[in-house]
Amino acid sequence: MDALTHISILHYIVLAAALFILGVVGVLTRRNVVVILMSIELILNAVNLNLVAFSRYWQAMHGPPALHGQVFAIFVITDAAAEAAVGLGILIAFFRNKETVNMDEVNLMKW
C-alpha cells in the first residue's frame, strides 16, 4: 500500500517509460508523418521527465541545489524545437512534390 500512496522516483520513471513506449508505437506503426513527428515529441518528453525526476532525486539525496537535470531538460526542449521546425519544413517540401504525407510513399531515393 505504501508503494501506491507514497510517490517516489520510481513512479516518475514508470510514467516516463510508458510515455516512451507510446511514442515508439506511434513512430513504428503510423503512416502520417505529422503524427510520427508528434510521437517523437512524446519520446523527447519522456526523456525530459526522467531528467527532471532524477534532478529532484539528486537534490533529495545530496542536499544542496544541483539542477543539472533541469538544465539538460531545457537543452532537450531546444533540440525539440529545432527538430520540429526542420522536420515540418521537410514535410512541406515533400508535400509540394508528391501531394501526400504518408511515410511509406517517401521512396524518391529508393531503387
Q: Decide: 91 and 33 in contact? Cβ < 8 Å.
A: yes
Nearer to other proteins, 26 or 108 (CB): 26
Instruction: Draw the binding track, 38-77, toward other proteins (x: CB under 8 A; -: no contact).
Output: xx-xx--x--xx--xx-xxx-xxxxx-x-xx-xx-xxx-x
Nearer to other proteins, 21 or 110 (CB): 21
Least Cβ distance, residue 21 to other proteins (angstroms)? 5
Q: Establish if 85 lies at the interface with other proteins (CB under 8 A).
A: yes
Which is nearest to 14 in space by CA: 42, 53, 69?
A: 53
Q: How far is CA 100 from the centre of its chain?
A: 25
Q: What is the largest CA-CA distance in the chain?
A: 58
Nearer to other proteins, 4 or 111 (CB): 4
Q: Decide: 53 and 9 in contact? Cβ < 8 Å.
A: yes
What stretch of H or E contains 27?
A: helix 9-29
Binding to other proteins (CB under 8 A) within 86-105 occurs at: 86, 88-93, 95-96, 100-104
